[in-house]
Amino acid sequence: MGLDFSVLPPYAELLGVGLWWTIVLTVSAGIVSFVMGILFAVTVLYAPAVIAYPVRFFIWLFMGTPLLLQLFLIYYGLVQIGIDLPALVAGIVGLGLHFAVYNGDIIRAGIAAVDPGQTEGARSIGFGRWQALRYVVIPQAVRNTTPAVGNMMIALLKESSLVSVIGIAELVHASQLAISETYRPFEFYIAAAALYYLANLILEAGLNMIEKRVEASR
């Protein structure tokens, strides 16, 4: 039984919908991971100990455990304590937090690397502590860390396939559905790989554009 890619077209719509959910997950979780990453970084660096320590513990916990387990915990575990999240929300939260922890680490280092003279320049004008962070320090930290955070976004796109385990019909899940009907794993996995690759190309092009714009302001 050789390769026969003619099995694919009837499932084009299924795969297309799968790709769509992969994109939805990546973009939503990407935004969550970026915003929460900044929040984690600022909290760890500047919040009072009563807040910073629990957050650091949470970060440590999320860094030290597999994403798969985190997804199970958020989707199946939280139900037990009365938090019943829809699969998509659980997937976005899980993926988002998992990568927020890494983005937070990257951005924290980025904030620490901003010249203290920047804060002094801002404070000397009359900016408050938070205003100096918001207008001067964080924008520079984010700009300086775009390549590293961009790599995290590419990783996130790929890791989003893991949420198939909690029943979200993203690309891998969609391929498996098609395979279960056709028994043609090779063709469909190749097709899914090609679609991931395509999505990655688009994401990288987007990231390159952002980096170019950031470079222009240096």
Partner 1 sequence: MRPSGSMVEVRGARKSYGNFEVLKGIDLSVERGQIVAIIGPSGSGKSTLLRSINHLETLNAGEIWLDGVQVNQPLKGRAFERHINGVRQQMGMVFQHFNLFPHMTVRDNITKGPIVLKGMGRDEADALAAQLLAKVGLADKIDSYPSRLSGGQKQRVAIARALAMKPKVMLFDEATSALDPELVDEVNAVMKQLAAEHMTMIIVTHEMRFASEVADRVLFMDGGAVVEEGQPSTLFTAPTHERTRAFLKKYLNA
Report if residue 82 touches partner 1, rule: CB under 8 A: no
Residue closer to partner 1 by CB (options 131, 151) is: 131
List 4, 13, 84, 120, residue binding partner 1 (CB under 8 A): 120
Report if residue 216 touches partner 1, rule: CB under 8 A: yes
Binding residues for partner 1 restricted to 163-202, rule: CB under 8 A: none
Q: What backbone phi and psi angles, to 5 degrees, belong to 170?
A: -80, -170
Q: C-beta of 2: minimal distance to partner 1 in Å?
A: 56
**Region of 15-23, 51-59, 73-81, 116-124 interacting with partner 1 (CB under 8 A):** 116-124
Binding-residue total with partner 1 (CB under 8 A): 22
**Region of 32-40, 132-140, 151-159, 203-211 interacting with partner 1 (CB under 8 A):** 132-140
List 65, 131, 151, 180, residue binding partner 1 (CB under 8 A): 131
Report if residue 127 touches partner 1, rule: CB under 8 A: yes
Report if residue 72 touches partner 1, rule: CB under 8 A: no
Query: Three-state secondary structure along 102-137?
Result: HHHHHHHHHHHHCCHHHHHHHHHHCCCHHHHHHHHH
Interior angle at CA 70, CA 66 and CA 73, nearest 5: 140
**Region of 24-32, 81-89, 121-129, 196-204 interacting with partner 1 (CB under 8 A):** 121-129
Tokens coding 186? 């090779």
Report if residue 218 touches partner 1, rule: CB under 8 A: yes
Q: C-beta of 173: minimal distance to partner 1 in Å?
A: 41
Tokens coding 152? 């995290």
CA–CA distance from 144 to each of 16, 99, 214 (Å)? Answer: 35, 18, 8
What is the C-alpha separation between 1 and 19, in angstroms, rounded?
A: 28
Residue by residue, DSSP assigns 140-161 as HHHHHTHHHHHHHHHHHHHHGG
Q: What backbone phi and psi angles, to 5 degrees, belong to 169?
A: -80, 55
Q: Write out the residues near partner 1 by the rule CB under 8 A.
A: 115, 117-118, 120-129, 131, 135-136, 139-140, 143, 216-218
